[in-house]
Chains A and B, each alone.
Chain A
Amino acid sequence: MNEPTIDDYLDELLRRTHADARTTRRLIDEASDHLEATAAQLEEDGMPRRQAELEAVRRFGPVGPIVRATFRRSLGALVLDTLRAGLFLAGCGLVAVGLSGLVALVMNLWAGQSFVGGETLFPGPGAPVREVAADAVVLRVIAGLAGLVMLLAYLGWRRYTTSVSRLPDGLVDALGAAAFAAGTAALAIASADQAAQTGTPGVGFPLSGAVVALPATVYFCVRAVRALLPAASGSDRQIGGRVGPPAAPR
């Protein structure tokens, strides 16, 4: 009969604990110490090692209730971390919209208001060119300012909470990269479509967004890659002080 020994039990606990890394590591540490202490005590009382391990595992109890209690405890923190990440991404998105408003302003000055506001597909037929061109700047900059406020709130939140994020490394950056990449693609296609239908008038409206979304995509991709590939990110430098094989002994 395959009853779990201490190692089997810890493997199962690790596999089924869907909590953040710190909570999981702490639970495994404590379970390991507790099980070993129990087994050692039973061995001292004359029980063979294997039997002592089985008894220690039996006393510790089934994995299910422990992982459920741990997950419930971790869930609140996970929700808060998700909200904080959402605040960061929403703030970045709105700041990008604000920057696209500044790009639209440059386009208005450089290429004339019809480049942004002329016969654009977005505001609908009949909208005055000047109004659309101005709205593309003003409304977007207002959105950008709202985004800055959200980013400041995010930084404040992060500064005054000391806990390590429960979300997997790179997840937020990967989501940001995916969102900005989708935005870049959609706006680039809209720009090309606009150009094909009307020529240059109105192209600046989506193009100003694409011009900002593209570097934002690159920025989030770099952050995601650095987080997901620790060897390339400098994490080794932080931990070991250097990267690469150890120096040959002299």
Chain B
Amino acid sequence: MIPGPLRNNLELMLMGVLRHGPAHGYAIIAALREYTDGEFDLAEGTIYPALHRLEECGVVESSLESVHGRRRRTYALTTRGRKQLGTQRREWRAYVAHMEAVIS
């Protein structure tokens, strides 16, 4: 059975990007594209509801800044988020290893 937290891969990927440091939505999408060589070309707008959900859970926190007269929200992993990422990463790796064992 797929572990509960891994059902939402998008949130795990967002946490994975934010592990490298605070970033706003546009930069997160650019990083996702870069890390995956453009393989994960998701609809960019879908990351915002996911980021809002992560913030409500206390996994990320956000701050506002003004850039070229526009309000820009930057997200960062919280301490709790780092712990959560560590746990989910272990679960993900175990899941991949098991899948590999089955299909190889």
Check if A and B associate.
yes
Q: A interface vs B, CB < 8 Å?
A: 23, 26-27, 29-34, 36-38, 59-63, 65-66, 69-70, 72-73
Q: Are A34 and B49 in contact (CB under 8 A)?
A: no
Interface assignment of B9: CB less than 8 Å from any CB of chain A: no
Q: Are A66 and B52 in contact (CB under 8 A)?
A: no
Total B residues in contact with A, Cβ cutoff 8 Å: 20
**Docked pose: A30 CA to B24 CA in angstroms:** 9
Given contacts A32-B70, A70-B49, A70-B52, contact A61 B44 (CB under 8 A): yes
Q: Are A30 and B73 in contact (CB under 8 A)?
A: yes
**Docked pose: A72 CA to B44 CA in angstroms:** 18
**Set of chain A residues within 8 Å of B48, measured between Cβ atoms:** 27, 30-31, 34, 66, 70
Interface assignment of B50: CB less than 8 Å from any CB of chain A: yes
Q: Are B46 and A73 in contact (CB under 8 A)?
A: no
Given contacts A38-B26, A73-B53, contact A33 B71 (CB under 8 A): yes
- B75: min CB distance to chain A, Å: 10
**Set of chain A residues within 8 Å of B43, measured between Cβ atoms:** 59-62, 65-66
Would you list 20 pairs from A and B whose C-beta atoms are within 8 A, ordered by A residue? Answer: A30-B25, A32-B70, A33-B70, A33-B72, A34-B44, A34-B48, A36-B70, A37-B26, A38-B44, A59-B44, A60-B43, A61-B43, A61-B45, A65-B43, A66-B45, A69-B50, A70-B49, A70-B52, A73-B53, A73-B56
- A106: min CB distance to chain B, Å: 51
Interface centre among B24, B49, B50 (most CB of A within 10 A): B49
- B29: min CB distance to chain A, Å: 8
**Set of chain B residues within 8 Å of A32, measured between Cβ atoms:** 70
- B27: min CB distance to chain A, Å: 9
**Docked pose: A63 CA to B46 CA in angstroms:** 9
The majority secondary structure among interface residues of chain B is: helix
List the 7 closest A-B pairs by CB distance, nearest first.
A61-B43, A69-B49, A60-B45, A37-B26, A66-B45, A61-B45, A70-B49
Provide the B26-54 mask, 1 if CB < 8 A to any CB of A, else 0. Answer: 10010000000000001111101110110
The majority secondary structure among interface residues of chain A is: helix
Q: Are A29 and B45 in contact (CB under 8 A)?
A: no
Apart from A61-B43, A66-B45, 10 more pairs, CB < 8 Å: A29-B73, A30-B25, A30-B73, A32-B70, A37-B26, A38-B44, A59-B44, A60-B43, A61-B42, A66-B43
Q: Are B46 and A61 in contact (CB under 8 A)?
A: yes
Q: Are B26 and A73 in contact (CB under 8 A)?
A: no
Q: Are B25 and A34 in contact (CB under 8 A)?
A: yes
**Docked pose: A29 CA to B62 CA in angstroms:** 14
Q: Are B52 and A29 in contact (CB under 8 A)?
A: no
**Docked pose: A36 CA to B50 CA in angstroms:** 21
Q: Are A66 and B49 in contact (CB under 8 A)?
A: yes
**Set of chain B residues within 8 Å of A63, measured between Cβ atoms:** 45
**Set of chain A residues within 8 Å of B70, measured between Cβ atoms:** 32-33, 36
Q: Are B45 and A33 in contact (CB under 8 A)?
A: no
- Residue in B closest to A38 when the chains form the complex, CB atoms: B26
Q: Are A33 and B24 in contact (CB under 8 A)?
A: yes
- Residue in B closest to A25 when the chains form the complex, CB atoms: B71
**Docked pose: A37 CA to B67 CA in angstroms:** 10
